[in-house]
Structure 1
Amino acid sequence: MTFIPQGNHLIAGKWIGADLKFSSAPVSGEAFEYAVGTPELVAEACAAASAAFPGFAATPREERARLLETIADEIDARGDQITEIGTAETGLPAARLEGERGRTTGQLRLFAAHIRDGAYLDRRHDEPIPDRQPLPRPDLRMMQRPVGPVAVFGASNFPLAFSVAGGDTAAALAAGCPVVVKGHDAHPGTSEIVAEAIVAALDNLGMAAGIFSLVQGGSRDVGAALVTDPRIKAVGFTGSLGGGRALYDLCAARSEPIPFYGELGSVNPMFVLPNAAVERGAELGAGWAGSLTMGVGQFCTNPGVAVIVDGPEANAFIAAAVESLTAITAQTMLTDGMADAFRDGARRISEGAGVSSLLNNSCEGRSAAPYLFQVSAADWLSDEELSEEVFGPLGLVIRVKDATQMVDIASSFKGQLTATLQMDDGDIDLGRELLPVLERMAGRVLANGFPTGVEVCDSMVHGGPYPASTNFGATSVGTLSIRRFLRPVCYQNIPEALLPADLAGM
């Protein structure tokens, strides 16, 4: 059965409308009207989250695990409807959305298992030493506790996995933190049906409605109201550098500053080392083209820059990339604004110092086709704008003189989500020189692969030094992401009867 959105906000279990409306802009099918968010609605949602926090924070881990699993079940029960409205709103293929739904429900279930295990609590106990001289040691116990209500901003490029019930929400709920989500205007219907799944799960388990709210649409003052509400204690964000930095600054300027965990942008450089270029340069060029254009280049791990030593191997790498990219026709981007920004970015790169075009395209409206450019190392180093992300299927090849200059280029990059080494056994010495540079620059360093595709698991890091993200010590993917919404609390000489259940008996 087709899902027909009601177009309202979900505030603590109640669907609430508004006089002011905005219209969705689907790639296909019918457009729907949605209520526009307001600071007043944000305040209502935050008040409900704050009221729900003490009880939710005190719930046993098993209850929160069942909530996460029930949300996953409710999302799966709406799977066909989610795919239908998601493809209409975003233009993403049905198979991509079905895979993303599997990732979304998978990470909910992964967090359920993670909190059942209990290791994330990092429980510690230093027993008392009453006769120690010169001073006795008290009984000291420590564990991680939830920080409070969390604000989550839905992402445009992942309408499921990084949005209403995505990784940020899963981590916050697992930690025991109520969530207020600011839905993304690019896919409001998808946001609404996933919110419907969450509220159904809360109802099924008899849990407080204030644990989750969704505010749709609204101008920048709605986002500002959310991050500055004194009841919000942390923020999860995936989006642009400009928008994220503005919200980050608001969080820092509060009378009580709070952490802003923003993923803001990355060009994810790939270094093709000399022996790998000789042995399989053309193969790597074709593979890079495929990664570069996956999902119309709308992945935050899109490898937008390739660094290779100038010469015949570089020529073979580029020729294979051009051949593969030429075969790719224009595809639909997620929003008109994203397509406009992509074309502006391509124009900016084309006007950079010493940049020459290897593949140029003309695309209009919401469509995008691949662009490919090249530049010398010297010109790259002289023009900082060339290092700024272009969100879409655009690649830039940096031709370096030798291995020494490759290391210089590596040292020039700002913070990144990923950095890739394409290397063979003969490249080990250069790889050994590059790795310390890359690990200071990126949250994930990989060899002989492509960074598009982020595994959801215990060891994944999806973050990096600024501007890749605003907190280099955090990840937004994997079970470690729960740490963002926890803080350590030490209990000194607290009677056993008063301790949290997870600490009692240690």
Structure 2
Amino acid sequence: MSSADLTGELFLAGDRRDGGSSALLHSHDPRSGERLEPGYRAAAPEDIAAACAAAAESFASYRAVPVERRAEFLRRIAEEIEGDASRIIARGVTETGLPEARLKGEVGRTAGQLRLFADLIVDGRPADVRIDHADESGPELRSQTVGIGPVAVFAASNFPLAFSVAGGDTASALAAGCPVVVKAHEAHLGVSELVAAAVVRAVRASDVPAGVFSMVVGEGREVGQALVKDEHIRAVGFTGSQAVGLAIVASAAERTEPIPVYAEMSSVNPCFVLSHALEQRAEEIASAFVDSLTLGAGQFCTNPGLLVLPKGAAADRFIAAASERLRASPPQTMLSARIHRSFEEDVAARASHSDLTTLVGPTMEKTGGPHEASGSLFATDAALFLRRPELQNEVFGPSGVVVQCDSEAELESVATALSGQLTASLHADPGDEAMVRRLLPRIESVVGRLIFNAWPTGVRVCDAMVHGGPFPATSAPGTTSVGARAIDRFLRPVSYQGFPGWALPDVLRDEHVVAWPRRVDGDNLVP
């Protein structure tokens, strides 16, 4: 698409404006390294302050918008994005190097998330209405959840739509009744502008307060820290590297009034292949493992970077098949020069690690653009892995480690030693039942989602999905950033004691409460 379709401006409470900083940011085509127009002037401190103040000013009136109208607003955002999908996808291909089919899928997922939360709030479940009538133990209490306040959202590098300007964090925060200030990711500024424009069109068409949405641009810590530390911001949603995520957590904790940070940061998504499955399906599992490892150039947060299996002839077959398939896998363009540079540095460090054997080495030869990456695979044994916790560190890209275990006890020890993960996979056949029962309690204590005889890449947006996990996978292990429960991050419960009916919020009045799922005197009642 032509850069003439883009203005290079920020969005502050519905208005376009140039950023007030002297810094000028450009996206780049990762396939060629070409700088893309237009340039985007970074937000100055006063821009961020204005966006956050507008969000705070709009909070009370937006929270008071009936859920039916709030749901229509979310659906309108989805329609506006779908209506501009051809331009968004064309710019996305140029800014990310991702194939058109992948970006079409992201448009669908982004719209689907918005509609899921629209349906959810109309259904009433997030309100979590509870009523305890007065009795000998005390007075009557009624409770509901309310939005926590303005939310800062940091767009992710690896999902220019689904985890970006109008992605899951934004959708769930808006559904909760919280205004949003988004920091666009500098790798896909054009896509961010187009999506932000779609959100603003929906704001105007839905007659919700203009301050409910703003988007700022900036590189480095200054803009991010200013956003997190602004006194009007009440929560943060982030998807990205552990280093940046922890810096955001630290900034939020240093505030006079600390706020929660929901950061999804790093995961190697371990996969355990048990003996009977390995004996029967070594080559099949190896092929699927490599396909999942290299999917999207290994730039999903759920690519499997660690595979654990028992030593033996079947393991040798697995390693031979996986190595052969990986060598045959073509190089892929990574999302940005920064990501590609970090990947090559991490893989080079693995190749020189004294406790790792290189099965498929990194190939620095480029057959296409400057930011291509080829897959690599390394091996170690359980004893070395257990002594070297750094082998659990995520390498963002198509690189994996195979850990071979001498015994079932070592398999259990590896599972016990794992740090927090988004996912873990179990590959097992009949005959592996006893080992599954022994491993499961160890694995489920450190992951958000367990997968049986399948691979972790691919996240379904639905009620039961959990995309979270203990640290360092996330900063908030009791939450998820995907699925219906994501809205809970931006809600808090409020109880009303002894209120007469006329003074209660509408949702809690007897004439209205019958329309909502509710819990009365400890019993669940569903209309």
Q: Which runs of 4+ in 1 moved over 6 A?
A: none
Are residue 439 (structure 1) and residue 438 (structure 2) matched? no
Match of 2:105 among 99, 103, 128: 99
Q: Secondary structure, in 3 states, of the residue corresponding to 1:445? A: strand
Whether the 8 Å CA contact 2:347–2:362 is kept in 1: the answer is no
Match of 2:458 among 432, 448, 453: 453
Q: 1:38 — aligned with what?
A: 44
**2:450 and 2:183 mapped to 1: Cα distance?**
32
Q: 2:521 — aligned with what?
A: none
**1:320 and 1:100 mapped to 2: Cα distance?**
32
Deviations 1:166-195 (A, max 9, x none): 000000000000000000000000000000
Whether the 8 Å CA contact 2:236–2:262 is kept in 1: the answer is yes
Q: How does 1:204-215 map to 2 (within 5 A)?
A: 204-215=205-216
Q: How does 1:349-360 map to 2 (within 5 A)?
A: 349-360=350-361
TM-align CA RMSD: 1.2
**2:283 and 2:190 mapped to 1: Cα distance?**
43
**1:115 and 1:320 mapped to 2: Cα distance?**
48
Shift of 1:300: 0.3
**2:459 and 2:67 mapped to 1: Cα distance?**
27
Q: 1:48 — aligned with what?
A: 54
**1:39 and 1:376 mapped to 2: Cα distance?**
51
> Which amino acid is 1:223 matched to?
G
Q: Secondary structure, in 3 states, of the residue corresponding to 2:445? A: helix
Q: Secondary structure, in 3 states, of the residue corresponding to 1:163? A: coil
**2:294 and 2:95 mapped to 1: Cα distance?**
20
Q: 1:276 — aligned with what?
A: 277
* TM-score, scaled relative to structure 1: 0.97
Q: 1:500 — aligned with what?
A: 505
Shift of 1:5: 1.3
**2:499 and 2:105 mapped to 1: Cα distance?**
48
> Which amino acid is 1:226 matched to?
L
For structure 2, list consecutive stretches of 5 or more residues without a partner in the other structure: 514-527
346-355 vs 94-103, which moves further = 346-355
Shift of 1:402: 1.4
Shift of 1:349: 1.7
Q: 2:231 — aligned with what?
A: 230
Are residue 391 (structure 1) and residue 396 (structure 2) matched? yes
Q: 1:218 — aligned with what?
A: 219
> Which amino acid is 2:26 matched to?
S
Match of 2:23 among 15, 20, 24: 20
> Which amino acid is 2:28 matched to?
A
**1:174 and 1:252 mapped to 2: Cα distance?**
26
Shift of 1:219: 2.8
Whether the 8 Å CA contact 1:293–1:370 is kept in 2: the answer is yes
Are residue 309 (structure 1) and residue 314 (structure 2) matched? no
Shift of 1:494: 2.0
Q: How does 1:265-344 map to 2 (within 5 A)?
A: 265-344=266-345
Shift of 1:38: 2.2
Q: How does 1:358-369 map to 2 (within 5 A)?
A: 358-363=359-364, 365-369=370-374
Match of 1:72 among 67, 70, 78: 78
Q: 2:517 — aligned with what?
A: none
Shift of 1:497: 2.3
Q: 2:183 — aligned with what?
A: 182
Q: Secondary structure, in 3 states, of the residue corresponding to 1:284? A: helix
373-382 vs 175-184, which moves further = 373-382
Whether the 8 Å CA contact 1:142–1:488 is kept in 2: the answer is yes
> Which amino acid is 1:350 matched to?
A
Q: Secondary structure, in 3 states, of the residue corresponding to 2:208? A: coil
**1:149 and 1:428 mapped to 2: Cα distance?**
48
20-29 vs 374-383, which moves further = 20-29
Shift of 1:2: 4.8
Q: 1:255 — aligned with what?
A: 256
Identity of aligned residues (%): 47
> Which amino acid is 2:403 matched to?
I
**2:352 and 2:331 mapped to 1: Cα distance?**
22
324-333 vs 456-465, which moves further = 324-333
Deviations 1:29-82 (A, max 9, x none): 743211112222111100000000000111111011000000000000000000
**2:503 and 2:167 mapped to 1: Cα distance?**
34
User: Are the structure 2 counterparts of residues 150 and 195 from structure 1 closer, same or farther at C-alpha, using a change threshold of 3 Å?
Assistant: same
Q: 1:6 — aligned with what?
A: 7
**1:504 and 1:109 mapped to 2: Cα distance?**
27
Shift of 1:361: 2.7
For structure 1, list consecutive stretches of 5 or more residues without a partner in the other structure: none
348-357 vs 390-399, which moves further = 348-357
Are residue 127 (structure 1) and residue 133 (structure 2) matched? yes
* TM-score, scaled relative to structure 2: 0.93
Q: 2:522 — aligned with what?
A: none
Match of 1:88 among 86, 94, 102: 94
Whether the 8 Å CA contact 2:144–2:493 is kept in 1: the answer is yes
Q: Secondary structure, in 3 states, of the residue corresponding to 1:291? A: helix
> Which amino acid is 1:454 matched to?
V
Q: 1:480 — aligned with what?
A: 485
Count of residue pairs brought into register by the alignment:
501
**1:166 and 1:362 mapped to 2: Cα distance?**
34
Q: Secondary structure, in 3 states, of the residue corresponding to 1:148? A: coil
Whether the 8 Å CA contact 1:37–1:218 is kept in 2: the answer is no
Q: How does 1:368-383 map to 2 (within 5 A)?
A: 368-383=373-388
Are residue 415 (structure 1) and residue 420 (structure 2) matched? yes
Q: 2:469 — aligned with what?
A: 464
> Which amino acid is 1:220 matched to?
R
Shift of 1:320: 1.3
Q: Secondary structure, in 3 states, of the residue corresponding to 1:262? A: strand
